[in-house]
Amino acid sequence: MTDHYYQSSGSEVQLFKRAAQQRVPLMLTGPTGCGKTRLVEHMGGVLGREVVTISCHDDLTSSDLVGRFMVTGGDVVWNDGPLTRAVKAGAICYMDEVVEARHDSLAVLHSLTDHRRTLYLDRAGQTVKAPDSFMLVCSYNPAYRSSLKELKPSFRQRFVTVAMRYLPAEREAEVLVAEAGVDAAVARRLVNCAIGIRKADDIFHFEPPSTRVLVTAARLVAAGATEMEAAEACILAPLSNDGAIADGLRELAAASLLDASTPTPRSTAGGIKP
């Protein structure tokens, strides 16, 4: 099984292991690019289990999850969906952006996520009891949630929930070093740049730059780009189409890149015009 590098931010690895040991499902929440998917991949390696990923969307039906009858060579045969396959294989089933799925599609998960740990395939007339190694892990980004897309309390309360955040500065810089091969000083400056912008996010309310964009920026630097070019293309450009905001953030980014001796950048936030 591939070893996926994961830098821990707290007790989430322990919590994951304990949830797996107690056979309870896990819900990961957190902003884009903060390491939710990477944590699941990493834990698949740690626990020695296959990870079956299902990307949820609002057209996803319960048949897409559990399976359906299909005509193959003149015969009508039952085909397991990814959820059923994961249950039978005792895998980790990872349902990404679960909040996008409709409530009626998620209803099949109810019996699987309580003491029964059983999937009822009504159409196939089968009952599948999950082996001990089966684990359901779901994730979503609370920032994208609309009131129309609230998970039901009866669903949420079945899970151990881990609210993930961006890593502390030094650990986030270590991720950049490990993922992009840049040296520690470059990593620190890019992280410093993101921290400055994340603080300004309190004023502008955009989704702040993630560890993902920092890794991409670091990779551009590793490929020969200047730090400002990389920051512009990977950190600033995806944030906002508003020219005034972009100018303010560019000023902030340039200042943060220059001053990375401390994790906190010189405050230029006051000089930014929304």
Ligand X SMILES: Nc1ncnc2c1ncn2[C@@H]1O[C@H](COP(=O)(O)OP(=O)(O)OP(=O)(O)O)[C@@H](O)[C@H]1O
Q: Beta 75-80 vs 126-129: how paired, if at all?
A: unpaired
The entry of Mg ion, ligand X, none near residue 16 (CB within 5 to 8 angstroms by kind) is none
Residue with tokens 């890593």: 167
Q: How far is the CB of 201 from ligand X (least distance, A)?
A: 16
33 vs 44, beta carbon nearer ligand X: 33
41 vs 80, beta carbon nearer Mg ion: 41
38 vs 49, beta carbon nearer ligand X: 38
62 vs 141, beta carbon nearer ligand X: 141
Asked whether 215 and 180 are in contact (CB, 8 A), the reply is yes
- CA 79 from centre of chain: 29
Q: How far is the CB of 35 from Mg ion (least distance, A)?
A: 9
**Residue 273 φ/ψ, nearest 5 degrees:** -100, 125
**Residue 63 within binding range of Mg ion, rule CB under 5 A:** no
- The alpha-carbon radius of gyration of the chain (Å, integer) is 22
Q: How far is the CB of 53 from ligand X (least distance, A)?
A: 11
CA–CA dist 98, 109 (Å, integer): 11
29 vs 113, beta carbon nearer Mg ion: 29
Strand partners, 210: none
Q: How far is the CB of 210 from Mg ion (least distance, A)?
A: 10
Asked whether 57 and 68 are in contact (CB, 8 A), the reply is no
Comparing every residue's Cβ against ligand X, the nearest one is 35
Asked whether 239 and 168 are in contact (CB, 8 A), the reply is no
Q: Which of 248, 254, 209, 268 is nearest to 32 (CA)?
A: 209
CB atoms within 10 A of CB 241: 8
The entry of Mg ion, ligand X, none near residue 212 (CB within 5 to 8 angstroms by kind) is ligand X
Could you tell me which residues come within 8 angstroms of residue 264 by beta carbon, excluding any fewer than 6 positions away?
195
Binding positions for ligand X, rule: CB under 6 A? 5-7, 30, 32-38, 141, 167, 175, 179, 211-212, 215
The entry of ligand X, Mg ion, none near residue 69 (CB within 5 to 8 angstroms by kind) is none
Q: How far is the CB of 184 from Mg ion (least distance, A)?
A: 26
Q: How far is the CB of 28 from Mg ion (least distance, A)?
A: 9
Q: Which of 4, 13, 15, 37 binds Mg ion (CB under 5 A)?
A: 37
83 vs 175, beta carbon nearer ligand X: 175
Strand, helix or coil for residue 155:
helix
Per CB under 5 A, residues contacting Mg ion are 36-37
